[in-house]
Amino acid sequence: MSEHLGGGTGKIWFSLLFGLFLLVFGGAATLAFFGIFLPVPTGFMTGLVVKILLIVAGLLLLIDSFKVRTMMGATKFSAILIGLIMAFAGALPLLIDYKLVGFLPFLMNLSIPNFVLSILLAVYGIFLIIRAIQLYKSHAMGFV
């Protein structure tokens, strides 16, 4: 019984802290587009870093959504769907930047601004925070 407590709370804490990280840096990068600079170092939040963060975070959520033992079907489905959307939202601009989708001519002129990707990162952070709270309250991770 105690082996579930460490693994479950660790996953929830990681999700909560990662969500806070994404919310703070995604929000700070978004506000920087409006000329509002927070006392957070956002110099490393280039377009490439944001795209890679979206891919990694989306894949982490996708993998984690299959590991979570919960009876909440809507929460699990939304985690799978949002994980896929975030991974796709990060991968598509990278594929376009490096011209790896040349076989799809309608995508070659598509451009997703970094502003939109920063907003997605902040919204994704909010989603992770809400999901961590839901999992904690639902006792889905083996809490007694």
Domain boundaries, given as residue ranges, for the chain: 2-138
Average pLDDT estimate for 17-43: 84
- Predicted local distance difference test score (pLDDT) of residue 126: 93
The conformational region for residue 37 under phi > 0 = left, psi -120 to 50 = alpha, else beta, is beta
Residue 44: CB atoms within 10 Å: 8
Average pLDDT estimate for 116-143: 80
76 pLDDT exceeds 50? Answer: yes
- Predicted local distance difference test score (pLDDT) of residue 4: 37
- Predicted local distance difference test score (pLDDT) of residue 72: 62
Share of the chain above pLDDT 70, in %: 78
Lookup result for tokens 């993998």: 63
Q: What is the distance in angstroms between the CA of the first residue and the CA of the last residue of the chain?
A: 8
Helices (H), 34-101: 47-67, 73-97
The closest alpha carbon to 86, from 44, 29, 126, belongs to 126
Q: CA–CA distance from 96 to each of 68, 82, 99, 120 (Å)?
A: 33, 21, 5, 18
pLDDT interval class at 1 (50, 70, 90)? very low
Angstrom distance (rounded) from CA 134 to CA 144: 16
* Residue of higher predicted confidence among 36 and 137: 36
Average pLDDT estimate for 99-127: 82
